[in-house]
Structure 1
Amino acid sequence: MIIKISNFIEGDAKVLFEKLDVNILKGKKLTLDFHSVESLPYDFLEESIGKLLEKNSFDDIRYQLNFKNVDVGIKEMLGKIVKDKYE
């Protein structure tokens, strides 16, 4: 399943978290597509992907969650979130 991040930018990060969480629990493989997203608030990533990482271990989701078309700045923020959650 491909989830386009651009569809969630104007909304609440909780909506994205809930969509990810439900599908991870179902065992679905997800691709987060950041096409045309050049920047995002750190809080948005923390409240969606960060919460997903809090709820699930990295080993539980690493084969289910993929990222596509991620801007360098967003990639750095995601790296920080992962590092903060698992240190």
Structure 2
Amino acid sequence: MQTCEAATQLRKTGRVNVGANTSVPHLASVHFKAGVADVHFEVLKFALLETIKEAVPYMWSEELKEAWSESYDHLVAAIKSEM
């Protein structure tokens, strides 16, 4: 859900504001306690992009891929900074 919100923000404003309406510290705590490592974030990113590509192939484009990728990266960076 937060990745979707981040993608919407990025598309509308050109930037992502995580923290105002999200609980990044809570997400970071959960990820830290679960032992989530960098490689896990990368695997999830790949799976997310492939899922979107398969779910809406008629909408898939390099621009959509980049928007989702950048949004995900911003969210992950915010989570990691709180870990």
Query: For the superposition of Structure 1 and Structure 2, which TM-score range results when normalised by the shorter chain?
Result: 0.3 to 0.5
Greater percentage in strand: 1
Bigger-Rg structure (1/2) = 2
RCO greater where, 1 or 2, for CA within 8 Å and sep 6 or more? 2
Greater percentage in helix: 2
